[in-house]
Copies of this chain bind each other. A is one copy, B any other.
Amino acid sequence: MTITEVSEKFDIPQDTLRYYERIGLIPRVNRNKSGIRDYSEEDCNWVEFIKCMRSAGLPIEVLIEYVELFQQGDATIEARKELLIEQRKQLIAKIEAMQKTLERLNYKIAVYEQVVVEKEKELKRSEN
């Protein structure tokens, strides 16, 4: 797959794909004879995985570490697992905080709705 195809498939700018590769957020992609990137199936899986993790706010730094561990082979399986568990913990906390904020927004919106209703009542009263 060319970079253009991958960019379209995952809706990630080409510059971002190159940037991710440069900083080691995805393993290095193979080039063809003329030096142009040729994404393999596995490369695509990495891109998709990273996109998913980034969209949930996992920091790039941590993901780079994960990729580095992965490239060191089986000896780092335990470390990778621990890294993911730590990130899961933080993700759960973030989701919980957001849920709280959501409830607060719901409440605030409900109050505004009530205010609007009151105003309409007043309006009707004054129309008589």
Q: Which residues of A contact B (CB under 8 A)?
A: 52-53, 55-58, 77-78, 80-81, 84-85, 87-88, 91-92, 94-95, 97-102, 104-106, 108-109, 112-113, 115-116, 119
Shortest CB distance A78–B (Å): 7
Contact B91 A56 (CB under 8 A): no
Shortest CB distance A96–B (Å): 10
- Contact residues of A: prevailing secondary structure: helix
Contact A109 B88 (CB under 8 A): yes
In the bound complex, what is the Cα–Cα distance between A91 and B109 (angstroms)?
Answer: 14
Q: A108-B84, A112-B81, A113-B81 are in contact. Are A92 and B101 (CB under 8 A)?
A: no
In the bound complex, what is the Cα–Cα distance between A98 and B52 (angstroms)?
Answer: 9
- Which 6 pairs show the lowest CB-CB distances between chains A and B? A56-B101, A81-B112, A88-B105, A56-B98, A84-B109, A95-B98
